[in-house]
Amino acid sequence: MMQNQLRVELAAVLSEIWFDDAWQWQAGGAYPYITEDNGDVRYTEAAQDCFNEVYSKVDGILNQYIKTKG
């Protein structure tokens, strides 16, 4: 069994990798980030939607194969 926190971290890392590929295909290389006035950097709304979709798929796949505890 894997600790739930480790599975979430694994899902996030895999999602970032998949997102990079999906974003290139979906947005044609558009820059996926916005820098806020206070200096914070975040995904654009479209990029965040894309990442959330990818994360949902990755999480679903991991849930099929990895049992977690805690």
**36 falls within a domain:** no
pLDDT in tens, 7-43: 899 999 999 999 999 998 888 878 999 999 999 999 9
pLDDT the model gives residue 9: 94
CB distance 58 to 11 below 8 Å: yes
**34 falls within a domain:** no
**40 falls within a domain:** no
Total domain count, the chain: 1
**65 falls within a domain:** yes
Domain that holds residue 11: 2-25+45-69
> What is this structure's pTM?
0.82
Mean pLDDT across 52-64: 95
**32 falls within a domain:** no
**55 falls within a domain:** yes
Q: Say whether pLDDT at 1 is over 70.
A: no
Cα–Cα distance list, 20 to 6, 24, 36, 54, 66 (Å): 21, 6, 21, 10, 24
